[in-house]
Amino acid sequence: MAERFKDLVAGEWVDARSGETLRDVNPADTHEVVAEFPSMSAEDVRRAVDAAAEAFPKWKALTPVARGAIMQRAAGLMRERAEQIARDLTREMGKTLREARGEVTRASYFFDYYGAFGRWPIGAYLPDERDGVFTFTMREPVGVVIAIAPWNDPALTPARKMAPALIAGNTVVLKPATLTPLSAWHLMRALHDAGMPRGVVNLVTGPARATGDPLINHPAVRAITFTGSTAVGLDLQAKVAGRNIRVQTEMGGKNALVVLRDADPKLAAELAAAAGFGQSGQRCTATSRVVVEASAREAFMNAFLERTKQITVGPGLDDSTTMGPVVDESQLKTTLDAVESGRREGAAVLFGGERLGGPRYERGYFVTPTILGNVSPSMGVAQEEIFGPVVAVMEATDVEQAIEIVNNTRYGLSASIVTRNLAAAHAFARGVDTGCVAVNLPTVGWDVHTPFGGFKDSGSPYKEHGIEGLQFYTRVKSVAMRVAG
């Protein structure tokens, strides 16, 4: 029987008042229920937001140094418990244990990094035109923050949202994805055990249809940070547009890796496979398009096919596995439907494109890594986010045409180029309409101190990570002071 967990509301671990629960299922073995969590109602949600609102004045008044100390203790607890958290993350989401271990470590870095901001100067001294007047700015917390996290990085994404919000003095209600609540629970447990005051952080689990509107419509909410699909993110923005509250959305991507004629084909193949098939392609920054200069195509494709054949698909807890399952039946269908749609439009399946069967795979959502060739930029597989292990390969005559192809989507999150030509690399960085650009590096993997976020329909103007990550969670107050003589 699966272990039953509780949500954190007002400093207490609680069930849903209705007693209803939701099941957390292993995508590698759907016969295994990893855990059961409360299925919260609108009434439960209101209680959580009320608790955050009540806790806000005292948390805001606490010194940033004291807030940061709690956060850094939580980071230490996460690392002490890293193996347990990583194994639970793999069981509920499907990624390999190696990927899960890396995610837990990176999640802890966010609490370390932003915890250190407790001793950093925040604000600015400004010269004043008037004699004897001292002018400066202060950054203040906005209030109650709703953090809505996806299933693909169920420890990392909550951490990147909660850490800057908390150090700034805000209180938080976290709504994790229904598919992956256990990873978020581990984060909450670390914060709770580190001494977080009651009501400062709250965990609410349950289906979006029951929890979504009560969360975003509560009058105490002053900011909402969301990571998920573009459709849901845009709908969220529309729902709260008339309320004058802050909304940060990190949404979809159709990220491209460009391979020029002077590129090392083995390096390019490694970058394409790592970012395209790592985490089963279920990352907003995953490489889902490769644009290769025509004269480099043959060498690159040979290397890419060879590298892809080395991938071992299987359960994430198996040491031999290098690519786990997709997260659920819906994501499996989306992936296979995209491949079939590409076929109908004229794309060629060069590798994979099938659901895996047999004793090792029959209980899970396993699909082969897939390479599509003969793809034109207008095809659906080159335009729409798939969020699965599918890479569409296209050709370009030169770097200028490659930039045009990269920009020819509604998305603008991440792009990368493989080249030894410094001038081409600079032209690419200037020309692509994406928030993140890499050279001879994958489209995935952006450090905690590096501003992260996309353009166009990939996200709102507010960045995550780094000093810029604090801006969304703070408001600026200008103070002019004349000291009486």
| Predicted structure pTM score | 0.96
How far is it, in rounded angstroms, from Cα 82 to Cα 431? 41
For the annotated catalytic residues, the residue numbers are: 250, 284
Q: Tell me, what's the pLDDT at 286?
A: 99
Q: Same domain, yes or no, for 263 and 237? A: no
Phi-psi region of 384 (alpha: psi -120 to 50; beta: other; left: phi over 0): beta
Pairing, β 133-141 against β 474-482: antiparallel
Name 21's bridge partners.
38
How far is it, in rounded angstroms, from Cα 443 to Cα 441? 7
Q: Backbone phi, then psi, for 412, in 5-degree steps?
A: -160, 60
Give CA separation, 432 vs 255, 408, 437, 444, 468, in Å: 11, 10, 8, 16, 21
Q: Same domain, yes or no, for 261 and 247? A: no
Quick one: CA dihedral 38, 39, 44, 46, positive or negative?
positive
> Which one, of 244, 266, 287, 480, lies nearest residue 389 by Cα?
287
How far is it, in rounded angstroms, from Cα 223 to Cα 249? 11
How far is it, in rounded angstroms, from Cα 425 to Cα 428? 5
Residue that has been written with the tokens 């928030």 in this structure = 435
Q: Same domain, yes or no, for 186 and 62? A: yes
CATH number of the domain bearing residue 243: 3.40.605.10
> Which one, of 428, 358, 354, 440, lies nearest residue 390 by Cα?
354
How far is it, in rounded angstroms, from Cα 110 to Cα 2? 31
Residue 224 belongs to some domain of the structure: yes
Q: Same domain, yes or no, for 145 and 47? A: yes
Q: Same domain, yes or no, for 207 and 105? A: yes
Q: Tell me, what's the pLDDT at 238?
A: 96
Phi-psi region of 138 (alpha: psi -120 to 50; beta: other; left: phi over 0): beta
Contact 78, 108 (CB under 8 A): yes
Pairing, β 124-126 against β 133-141: antiparallel
The structural domain count of the chain equals 2
Contact 153, 103 (CB under 8 A): yes
What residue numbers bound the domain in which 383 lies?
255-447
Q: Same domain, yes or no, for 238 and 378? A: no
CATH number of the domain bearing residue 259: 3.40.309.10
How far is it, in rounded angstroms, from Cα 249 to Cα 367? 29
Q: Same domain, yes or no, for 435 and 356? A: yes
Q: Same domain, yes or no, for 222 and 298? A: no
Residue 454 belongs to some domain of the structure: no
Residue 452 belongs to some domain of the structure: no
The runs of H, that is alpha helices, within 317-466 are 329-345, 380-383, 399-407, 422-431
Measure the CA angle with vertex 111, ends 109 and 114; round to 5°. 100
Q: Same domain, yes or no, for 240 and 325? A: no
Q: Tell me, what's the pLDDT at 123?
A: 84
- DSSP string across 154-188: TTHHHHHHHHHHHHTT-EEEEE--TT-HHHHHHHH
Q: Same domain, yes or no, for 309 and 194? A: no
10-residue averages of pLDDT along the chain (485 residues) = 95 98 98 98 98 99 98 99 99 99 99 94 88 93 98 99 99 99 99 99 97 96 98 96 96 98 99 99 99 98 99 98 99 98 98 97 98 98 98 98 99 99 98 99 97 97 96 96 82
Residues in Cβ contact with 308 at an 8 Å cutoff, skipping those fewer than 6 apart? 273, 277, 351, 352, 369, 371
Q: Same domain, yes or no, for 473 and 430? A: no
The runs of H, that is alpha helices, within 173-248 are 181-193, 208-217, 230-239
Q: Same domain, yes or no, for 262 and 241? A: no
- DSSP string across 25-40: EETTEEEEEEEEEE--
Residue 453 belongs to some domain of the structure: no
Residue 485 belongs to some domain of the structure: no
Cβ count within 10 A of residue 454? 26
Residue that has been written with the tokens 């034109």 in this structure = 376
Q: Tell me, what's the pLDDT at 379?
A: 98
Name 464's bridge partners.
452
Q: Tell me, what's the pLDDT at 149?
A: 98
